[in-house]
Amino acid sequence: MPATRIVEPDEGPRSKRAAILSAAIKSFGKNGYDATKWSAVADQVGIGQTALYHYFESKAHCLLTIMRMELQRSHEMFVKATAGETDPMAALRAAVRAAYDVSGHDVLRMRILENNVDLLANRRASAREETERAAARELVQQIETSWTELVQRGMDAGVFVRRDARTLALSMLGMIVSVWRWYRPRGTTPLAEVRDLIEDACVRVVRP
């Protein structure tokens, strides 16, 4: 079953929601969620702290929204990359490459997601926070299911090694997303080099 998709609010020309999200992504991604003051986000956008609550009821609500949006984007990229690809190995390679076809802004969002993923484990007292958390959890499950189905398809075709499909899928996903904990766009290792290394590792994981 497809994950519940949250429709983003309509943003008029005077809305500050996109600007708040952008400022929060930069601060959470570069400085860390805990080290970022909610008031500092307001300062970056040029609004009073009280105005933040018109869009997000808390810093955690904003964080969960960012995480859910990143999971949504990641899953859409997987679906787009693998759609219509009949060769499971080619689909796997395309999926890995799509995971690293990102902008600098996407890198920050993925870093935020990886560094705060434990937040998705427990229910939130706030209804708005819980809506975002539950949607994010559904997306995590959908991503894991999509990867598991791809692996199973490869095994059924005799292209992938026959082992537990979910274990193989989660192993590859773990390799792919772990990159965002340490990768820095201005570091010494180009992302294309990281992508090629992970793609090769994933192929070796499933190859008979």
68-70-76-77 Cα dihedral, nearest 10 degrees: -160
C-alpha 177/C-alpha 2 separation (Å) is 21
Domains in the chain: boundaries: 11-55, 59-206
Which candidate, 45, 144, 54, 65, places its Cα nearest to that of 109? Answer: 65
Nearest CA-CA partner of 78 in 161, 166, 172? 172
Longest dimension (CA), the chain: 60
CATH number of 59-206: 1.10.357.10
The CA distance from 15 to 47, in Å, is: 11
HSE (side-chain half, CA atoms, 13 Å) at 65: 20
- Which pTM value belongs to this model? 0.91
Spell out the per-residue pLDDT of the chain, length 208, in tens.
455 556 566 566 678 999 999 999 999 999 999 999 999 999 999 998 888 888 999 999 999 999 999 999 999 999 999 999 999 999 999 999 999 999 999 999 999 999 999 999 999 999 999 999 999 999 999 999 999 999 999 999 999 999 999 999 999 999 999 999 999 998 899 999 999 999 999 999 999 8
Equal fold, 11-55 vs 59-206: no
Instruction: Show the tokens assigned to 26.
Output: 């930069």
For the structural domain made of 11-55, what CATH number should be given? 1.10.10.60
Cβ contacts of residue 128 below 8 Å, gap of 6+?
A: 57, 61
